[in-house]
């Protein structure tokens, strides 16, 4: 087997099976199926051209998602705004954020088993994820949908692990509040005046 054949074989076995994951991530980044297809295609072209730089034995998923995200950021010319947002949230303590569940405070009395989330349907959750500010959306998608570790996310997002935690924890909290507001407006939960949650939604309880 020639070097070229070996290279193609490892690309075929390690990178190509991740086409769907890269497309999913592209969809979350672009929120547009046509642009997501273009981004996925470009990611694989770039990955193939640079396959020699991939370290065998490491997880190709985070490597591909890094390429995907970098292409997206460059195309969007969002780096400057992105850096501004990063500087704002980088100082927050992720441990403190992990305690901030106002939605839990609102539903706890009537939902001891945490069934609240099962009532919110998938497309609503996906839409709410799509509406998260991009730094939080990336973190939630990479961790909760693509199952990357904090260390892998740190590489993909090119930020310290502490910042990964801040973004992820804050992103989850924002998402919970968005979904809770939806649940109130859709009548999935009822208002409860004693437990306010956010400025937008009236407080509530699980039916």
Partner 1 sequence: MKWIDDFRRLLDRLRKEEPCGAPDAESGISCGEAVERLFEWLDGELDPKARKEVGVHFEVCARCYPLVMFEKSFSEALARLSPGEGLPRELEDRILSSLGEEGFTER
**Does position 77 bind partner 1 by CB under 8 A?**
no
**Does position 91 bind partner 1 by CB under 8 A?**
no
- Alpha helices by DSSP H, the chain: 3-10, 19-30, 33-49, 60-76, 79-89, 94-97, 102-107, 122-131, 134-140, 150-157, 161-185
Q: List the one residue from 6, 13, 32, 48 that touches partner 1 (CB under 8 A).
A: 48
CB of 80 to partner 1, least distance (A): 26
**Does position 92 bind partner 1 by CB under 8 A?**
no
CA 31 to chain centre: 13
Count of residues near partner 1 by CB under 8 A? 59
Q: List the one residue from 6, 13, 90, 117 that touches partner 1 (CB under 8 A).
A: 117
Q: List the one residue from 108, 127, 159, 162 that touches partner 1 (CB under 8 A).
A: 108
Contacts of 85 (CB under 8 A, 6+ apart): 133, 135
CB of 84 to partner 1, least distance (A): 20
Contacts 24+ apart (CB under 8 A), 146-151: 146/21, 146/24, 146/25, 146/61, 146/65, 148/61, 148/62, 148/65
Contacts of 183 (CB under 8 A, 6+ apart): 116, 119, 120, 189, 204
| Contact assessment for residue 65 and residue 44, using Cβ atoms and an 8 Å cutoff | no
Which range binds partner 1 by CB under 8 A, 64-72, 82-90, 168-176, 183-191?
Answer: 168-176
| Contact assessment for residue 179 and residue 171, using Cβ atoms and an 8 Å cutoff | no
**Does position 1 bind partner 1 by CB under 8 A?**
no
Q: List the one residue from 56, 112, 187, 193 that touches partner 1 (CB under 8 A).
A: 112
Q: List the one residue from 45, 83, 90, 186 that touches partner 1 (CB under 8 A).
A: 45
Q: Which residues bind partner 1 (CB under 8 A)?
A: 4-5, 8, 11-12, 19-20, 23-24, 27, 33, 37, 40-41, 44-45, 48-49, 94-96, 98-102, 104-105, 107-108, 111-118, 120, 122, 125-126, 140, 143-145, 147, 149-150, 165, 168-169, 172, 176-177, 196-199
């Amino acid at each position: 087997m020639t070097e070229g054949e070996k290279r193609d074989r490892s690309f075929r076995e390690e990178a190509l099976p991740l086409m769907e994951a890269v497309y999913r991530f592209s969809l979350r980044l672009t929120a547009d199926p046509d642009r997501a297809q273009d981004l996925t295609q470009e990611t694989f072209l770039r990955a193939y051209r640079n396959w020699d730089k991939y370290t065998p034995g490491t997880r190709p998923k985070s490597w591909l998602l890094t390429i995907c995200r970098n292409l997206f950021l460059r195309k969007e010319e969002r780096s400057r705004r992105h850096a501004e947002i990063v500087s704002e949230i980088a100082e927050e303590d992720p441990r403190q954020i992990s305690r901030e569940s106002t939605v839990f405070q609102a539903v706890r009395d009537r939902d001891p088993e945490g069934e609240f989330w099962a009532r919110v349907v998938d497309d609503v959750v996906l839409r709410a994820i799509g509406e998260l500010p991009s730094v939080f959306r990336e973190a939630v998608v990479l961790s909760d949908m693509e199952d990357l570790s904090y260390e892998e996310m740190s590489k993909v997002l090119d930020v310290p692990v502490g910042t990964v935690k801040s973004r992820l924890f804050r992103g989850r909290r924002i998402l919970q509040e968005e979904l809770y507001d939806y649940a109130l407006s859709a009548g999935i939960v009822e208002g409860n005046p004693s437990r306010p949650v956010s400025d937008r939604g009236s407080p509530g309880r699980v039916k």
